[in-house]
Structures are given as structure tokens and as C-alpha cells.
Amino acid sequence: MERITLGQLLDLADSHMEEAESARRAGTNRQGVVRELGRVLSAITRCLTWPAGDAQVEVIAGTLGSRADRAKAGLQEALRQAGARIDAVRADLGGPAERSDPVAGHLAAAADALNAGCDLIGTHYGTRLGNADETPSNWARLIASEPVTAALRAEMARRAVRCRVWVDWLASQAPDYARTELDAARRWLTAADSLMPPGGEALTEVAIGEHLLRDVPLAAPPDRRIPTGSESPAELCTGITISADRLRVITSAVSSQDCSVTSATGPSWSHAARAAAIVSDLAARELSMLAGREASLDRLGVNGLRLRDAVNAFAQSCAAWQLASQLWRHVTTGLERPASATTADLDDLVLRMGRLASGNPRWTPARRDRAPGPSPVGLRPDELAAVLAAVHHAADALAWMASADLAMITAFGDRGYLYMPNRVLERPDASISAYVRLPEDRLVMLQDAYLTVANASHHAVRELDDLAIAVNAPSRTLGYARRLLGAGSSAPADGARGELDADAIAVRLMRFTRPSTGGGRARGSELDTLAVIRAYRDERQTLDQCAARFGVGPRTISAILQEHGVPRRRSTAGSSPRPVAPDAAPPAAPGSPAKPERGFMERRLLNAGIADSNLLARAAAFDKAADSFLAEAVITTNVLEPQTSQERKPRDPAAAAPALAAKDSPQKLRASAPAAPSHQGDPAQRQSLAPAGRKPARAPGRARRTS
Amino acid sequence: MPVEAIIAIQDRLDTTHDLAAVYQAGWDAFELIQDVAARCAEPGSSSFATWMTVMGPACAGRDALGIAPSLPQAHGHPAILESIEAATEDDLADELATLAAALGSRLLRAAQSAADPADRRACQLAADAAEEIRELLVRGD
């Protein structure tokens, strides 16, 4: 399936409208024209229904919606009225329509193209039947944004106004009673003209909206294109873009799945982290090569230093993914599938990025296939822009994947679906096959590693956003989209990014694989550690603010930060807080007390990026019940909780019941793990990163887990 | 040290006869391959993709053996690789390719002789992983 965009369909409609105008003559069948003109107007009206708006009358009347909503609804209504008037005169304008008439044929094709455009937009919104499985696509928010809806309104109004010449032509040959209707249709079209969005205001935003509108693709991912081994650089760039498109769509779909049905597993996350590290490394190499082409860069008006910044950003991204892959050596989900929905596309991405960076069309990661090809003599500006766009797309897909992985890993960890070898964690002499549930401090470390991955990946792609726009690269849509929606679209907070070199990786890995001492802070309060780290490091809250927010003393916050290697800041009194991640709990206002109403369950949901009000209300109910239960327990056993003004225990029922939690731990985790779907997946998707010609890796067996 | 560790495991593979010992040696071999690959994977070098990719089948092979029914419950402490600096990257790749070849063929033989179908499957999966590692690391003509 070739990538098709709304712009292509609009251009197709325009070309047919032009053909129809140039083919119009005295003998043209008027009824055919009337019928198809009505369809054109109907298609334009349909296009204006996106994004779906309710209560049309109230919107037009001004009691609902914004000014833009009213303009859109007014335009829609004007076109509907014009279409109705034209339909009304169909029977009065000569004999039946002839399919062979070229004018009517072109108008019909224009209507078809516009209807297809409308359907294409609709693919981003599902069926609108309230099906819970349907999630709006990544583009849905963009299409609903004001600049894009304004651009859609302008595009459709322009085409509606163009229909006036046809109404005039029909009116000039129509009997009086039909002319009255056509005059009314003309007046409605004139009204539509007046509802066109004004130009000139916020020109940049208008231009961005127009560009994004034309680039709206079909929501379905393009078909996979398997690397052939003889692809030209241009074909490699196209292939990379296709893989990135597919990864974005698939990642988005997978991240919205429940843990028990998703195809993501420990081995597949491990594979994804390795592939992403390789792609980031290759991207850094490719950009470094581009940075050396000063002549081409000068012609494009790009400063080589900006590319150097991007190279550094990709080096950090590579290191972060490498760390994640190292952690997965010691963590498993207990499911045997090594391949997930993204595995094949990641492998394609690795191959093509390697081939592009090395200049060797047969490059594979295998030692014997990785020799670089001949260095290209020169790179035309358009070729340079294409390469930059391909890298940009790859980076964007990895950033999506990082955010989705972080969310999924959090969900898996919260459900207790992650395991670690007992010999690493507790007893070095334990059986190889003995696994225990991932302790919460390790879960926090894993989450923190993925937070680093997500930050680094988003930073890398943002470095390329501006470059792509500057050189007018085909991928500038990504940059425009991020500008329009803001970094919060899928990115975590742009928190502090310490350099992640080999030593830092080794330290984190050592901390991750150290034996569990069982001491320290109580189990159950550990998940809050991530929130503490986020609040201190990413939201730039002070120790006191964190202490107030989490209901503990500053020394506890300090201990948590030290334990997790988070560097302490000097006093930041008076500094403004950094941007907050969309999934982070809102920071407490300086000087204000923490929100005591946020209970443990509620905070866990918020930390996991879940803001659904129903779920939060249920979590609050759980918290309230837990509080009551604890109070009752304290009263009935006549034991007072230790509590001082400095170090109040967090209001966490799980922290008070470690013994209960231990009793719940399954002896045979096989039974509690999510069911393993059939191993017989799509063979294409099971292709590994093996060199060409190798048979794909087969899955290992299901892990036997005993605690 | 790393080359010696590789050779030592290869010797163990050559001299073991019972399935449990093969499993133990195989498990240690895959762990060692992962260790070496992780340490050799240096971003920016032309071999980065190779070493990162090697870690995949090494992990898969280890996990395949880790769930085999005949794997002994008690397992000695695998050798800890202190440093890889004593050997060149090319030497390590050559040695690991040789080890992977030996590992694959030993596991295939074990698969043929194993009585339990689950053991046979584990051996076959691990042998495939070893062959994949060999393919990734073998020197070009």
C-alpha cells in the first residue's frame, strides 16, 4: 500500500474540476452536471464534519462551541443549503444524465476524490460507534487542532466557491423556476465564501495548518517493505520512512492494549532496546557524515554545528537504549515469544539504516557483511534533505516507542508481571530456573532507565525537528506537529539529562544487579520513588516541596535521591519549576501543603499516566477504604503508628502489610503469569537481526519460575 | 583472561557426556558470550551493531537452556569476567565464533540423545541460537 495523503486526493479533485471546466461546452448534459455538482458539494460538506461535532444548531446559534466551531458549522450549513437547492432543480434541467459525458465524468471523479479524502480523515477516528477497542490515531489530535481545522475549512470553502461558476452556467440556461433555486444556491455559496478563515493572522500557524492538513495520511500503516539488498539510497530512505510509519502506528496500538493480551514480552523489549541502540548509533554516524558535507549544508543554509548537536543527542539516545538492553538481561516477563508486532519493522530499520550509513547495500550486522561501501562522491541538497528526513522519521519512531515502552513496563510492573532470577537477587546458589517477582526498587530503576531513554530519544528527535523545517525536508511535518501540539504530545518532561557514558551505565547496572538486602524503606512505598525522583529532578521541586508532597521528611527524600544516584541540586529557591510531564502529578504550589486527598492508589494511577476521572474516583474510594481499614486495625489492636512531625509514614496500606504481600507471592509463577498466546506468529515478523539468508531465531521455551 | 575463559568453557563442552553437564556448560557459555558482547559493544565503532545483535541469541540460548527439565537445580558459580582488555576485539570475535560452533554442535548431539521432548526442544532452540551467534561473528572470506 503506497502512502497516500489528503493533499494528493485534494489535488486529484482539483485536477478533475479543471478538466471539467475546460471540457464544458454548449451541448454538455446539464442533468449530469447538476447531479455531480450536488455530489461535489455533499462531499465538501462531509469533509467539514471532521472532527465530529455535535449539536450543530447550538453551535451555529452561538450557544455552544468556539468562534472557529461556529465558522465551521456555518460553512457546513451554507454548503448543505446550496446542495439542497441544486438537487431540487435536477429534474428540471433536461434529460437523464449520461455516464459517458466527459464533464459529468470529471465532476464525478472530483466528488469521488473528495469523498475519499473525507474517508481518509475518518480513518483516524475509528467508527465513532463508541467501541472501546478503537483509539484515535496519533493524527487525531492534530486534525482537531485549530490551525488544521482552519486549513480544512479554507480548503473546502475554496472548492465550494469554485462551484459558483457551475451554478452560474446552469442558471444561464435554466427555466425561470429553476433559476430561482440556483440563485439561492449561489447566495449560499457566496455566504460560504464570507466564512473562509481570514488570511494574514498568525501566518506561520496558518502555513503549518495547511501543510499538516495536506500531509494527513491514511490511519492504517503502510505495507511492510522487506529489504532487498539492492536498494538505492533513495529507496533506503523510503523504506526507513515506511518502517517508521509502521512502528508509530503499531506502537500506538500496542501501548493501548491490556498487559494480558499485548504481544510485548521481556525478550521483545530486549530486542527492541538493542535495535533502537543500533539505530541511534547509526543515525549519529549518518548525521556525522552529513555534518562533514559543508558545501551541501551551505547551499541548504544549515549550520554544521546544529548537526553536531544532533549527533551528540543521538549518542546519548544510543547509550540510554544500551542501558535498557543491559537491564533486560536480568528481567523477564516469563513469556517465551521473542517477537512482538514491532520486531520485523525494527529489523528492517536496522538493516536500512546500516546500509544508508555504510554505503554498502548488502550491509547486515554480521561481521562479514558490515564492510563499508564506497564513499559517495557528493550529495545533492535534495538527497541530503531526504537522508535527513529518513533519520528524522526513524528517530521519531524510536521516541514514540520509548514513551510507549515506559507506559507498558509500568503497567507490567504494577501487575507483578516482571521477574528477576533469584540467583541475582537473593541467593547466588539458587537454581537457574528460580525467578522471583521484580522487587519494587528494581522496577523503579527499570522505569527510571526508560525515563532516561524517553528523554534522550525525544531530545534527539527535537534536535532534528528544526533542521528538517530549515531544509524543507519531507519530514518537516513531524516538526510542525510537535510545534503545534507541544512537546507534551507524547514526550516526558525534558528533565535533567546527565551524560550517560559507559561508566554511568556500569554503575546503574551494578546497582540493578546487586543482591536485595531486604532492608531500607518499606516495600510498598517503593513505587513512590519514581514519583519522588520525577518531582525533584524533572519538576525541579525542592527537597521541602517533595517532602510536603509525599508526606515524608526531607531526609527521606534525600536518602531516596542518594540511593538512586540522583545528583543533588544547589538551592533553587526562587527558580521557576521546569515543564511537567503530562503523566506526572501536578506539582504542589510553592509554600502550599501537599494535596492530602491524593491517596496511594490515586498517585499510582497518576504516576502511570492514567488520568481517567472514573478510575481516579475508584482509586480514591480504595484509598478511603484502606484508610478506614488501617484506622480500624490500629484501634482494635490498640497499637499506635509511630509518627513524628519530621518523619510521618506514608499513608500506604501496602507498606503496612509486607507479610501479607509475601504470602500472596505465587510459588509457581507460571500460573499467575499472563497466558502465552500461540508461538506460531507471522514468520515475517519472527525474522531476527540475523544476517541475510539465516533462518529466523526460534523462541525459547516458557520460563520455569519458582520463588 | 577472556580468551582463557572461552577456551575453558569449550573444554568443558568437549569433555562432558551427560546432559546435565552439557546444560551447565552451555548456560555458562551463553552467559559468557553475553558478557563479552556487552563489553565489546562500543557506540561509534563499526562493530557496535554486531555485538549488540549477538546479545539477542545469547540471551535466547541461555533462556532456552534455563527452562530445560534436565537442568540441574544446583549450579556452580559461573566465571566472572573481570576485564576484556587483555584481548583484541577481533580475537574475541574469532574465539566466540569457534565457541558458538562447538556449542551448537554439542547441543545438537544432546538434542538427539535426550529422552524428554522438552529437553530436545530446549537443546534445539539453544543450538539454533548458537548457530546464529556463529553466523554473526564468523570472519568473512
Arithmetic mean of pLDDT, A18-36: 82
Task: Pick A591 or A314 by higher pLDDT.
Answer: A314
Residue-wise pLDDT for A600-619, tens only, equals 676 666 666 566 666 666 77
Arithmetic mean of pLDDT, A29-33: 80
Instruction: From chain A, pick out residues whose CB is under 8 angstroms from the CB of B50.
Output: 365-367, 370
**Is A247 a residue whose pLDDT tops 80?**
yes
* Cα–Cα dist B126/A241, whole Å: 35
Residue-wise pLDDT for B87-98, tens only, equals 789 999 999 999
Interface mutation target, options A328, A432, A500, chain B, most CBs of B under 10 Å: A432
- DSSP assigned state of A590: T
Closest-approach residue (CA) in chain B for A285: B44
Across the A:B interface, residue pairs with CB atoms under 8 Å apart total 143
For every residue of A79-105, DSSP letters joined together read: HHHHHHHHHHTGGGSSS---TT-HHHH
**Burial label, A433 (beta-carbon count in 10 A; 0-12, 13-18, 19+):** buried
**Is A552 a residue whose pLDDT tops 80?**
no
Instruction: From chain A, pick out residues whose CB is under 8 angstroms from the CB of B138.
Output: 366-368
Residue A505 backbone phi and psi in degrees, to 5? -65, -45
**Is B22 a residue whose pLDDT tops 60?**
yes
- Contact yes or no for B53 and A365 at CB 8 A: yes
Burial A129-154 (b: 16+ CB within 10 A, else e): eeeeeeeebbbbbbbbbbbbbbbbbb
Burial A494-504 (b: 16+ CB within 10 A, else e): ebeeeebeeeb
In 3D, which of A659, A595, A600 has the Cα closest to residue A624? A600
Identify whether the C-beta of residue B66 lies closer than 8 Å to the C-beta of residue B84: no
Largest CA distance in chain A: 100
**Is A642 a residue whose pLDDT tops 50?**
no
- Supply the pLDDT for residue A281: 96
pLDDT band of A700, cuts 50, 70, 90: very low
* Cα–Cα dist A25/A23, whole Å: 6
Task: Give the Å distances, CA to CA, from A680 to A161, A363, A684, B131.
Answer: 56, 29, 11, 21
pLDDT band of A244, cuts 50, 70, 90: very high
Highest mean pLDDT, choosing among A120-124, A275-279, A437-441: A275-279
Burial A73-111 (b: 16+ CB within 10 A, else e): bbbbbbbbbbbbbbbbbbebbbeebeeebbbbbbbbbbb
Q: Which residues have C-beta within 8 Å of that of residue B35, sequence separation ≥ 6?
A: B81
Highest mean pLDDT, choosing among A90-104, A379-393, A593-607: A379-393
Q: Enter the C-alpha cell of residue A2.
A: 503506497
- What percent of chain B has pLDDT above 70? 89
Task: Sketch the domain layout of chain B as residue ranges.
Answer: 4-137
In 3D, which of B21, B12, B26, B16 has the Cα closest to residue B124? B26
Arithmetic mean of pLDDT, A65-71: 70
Closest-approach residue (CA) in chain B for A337: B60
* Cα–Cα dist A74/A61, whole Å: 9
Which segment of A194-208, A658-672, A688-702 scores lowest on mean pLDDT? A658-672
Residue-wise pLDDT for A202-240, tens only, equals 557 778 888 888 888 887 778 889 999 889 999 999 999
State chain A's mean pLDDT as an integer. 73
Closest-approach residue (CA) in chain A for B39: A502
Our CA-based measurement puts residue A278 at a distance from the nearest CA of chain B, in whole angstroms, of 6
Q: Which residues have C-beta within 8 Å of that of residue A662, sequence separation ≥ 6?
A: none
Identify whether the C-beta of residue A381 lies closer than 8 Å to the C-beta of residue A298: no
Instruction: From chain B, pick out residues whose CB is under 8 angstroms from the CB of A372.
Output: 46
**Is B40 a residue whose pLDDT tops 90?**
yes
Residue-wise pLDDT for A74-85, tens only, equals 888 888 888 888
Top-level CATH class of B4-137? Answer: mainly alpha
Q: Scan residues 24-83 of B and list those with Cβ closer than 8 Å to A.
A: 27, 34, 38, 41-44, 46-50, 52-53, 55-57, 59-61, 63-64, 66-68, 71, 73-75, 77
Highest mean pLDDT, choosing among A179-188, A674-683, B45-54, B86-95: B45-54
- What percent of chain A has pLDDT above 70? 64
DSSP reduced 3-state for A478: helix
Q: Which residues have C-beta within 8 Å of that of residue B112, sequence separation ≥ 6?
A: B120
Round to the nearest angstrom and report the end-to-end CA distance of chain A.
49
* Cα–Cα dist A63/A65, whole Å: 7
Question: A419 - beta bridge partners?
Answer: A332, A437
| Model confidence pTM above 0.80 | no
- Supply the pLDDT for residue A487: 45
Instruction: From chain B, pick out residues whose CB is under 8 angstroms from the CB of A270.
Output: 56, 59
Closest-approach residue (CA) in chain A for B121: A701
Our CA-based measurement puts residue B109 at a distance from the nearest CA of chain A, in whole angstroms, of 18
Q: What single letter denotes the amino acid at residue B55?
A: M
DSSP reduced 3-state for A421: strand
* Cα–Cα dist A614/A634, whole Å: 30
- Contact yes or no for A367 and B140 at CB 8 A: yes
Arithmetic mean of pLDDT, A239-261: 80
Rounded to 5°, the CA angle A603-A607-A608 comes to 120
Q: What single letter denotes the amino acid at residue A669?
A: L
- Supply the pLDDT for residue A356: 92
Residue in A277, A354, A433 closest to B67 by CB: A433
pLDDT band of A682, cuts 50, 70, 90: very low
- Contact yes or no for B41 and A322 at CB 8 A: yes
What ipTM was assigned to the predicted interfaces of this complex? 0.94
Instruction: From chain B, pick out residues whose CB is under 8 angstroms from the CB of A371.
Output: 140
**Burial label, A354 (beta-carbon count in 10 A; 0-12, 13-18, 19+):** buried
Residue in A370, A433, A703 closest to B49 by CB: A370
* Cα–Cα dist A216/A47, whole Å: 13
**Is A320 a residue whose pLDDT tops 50?**
yes
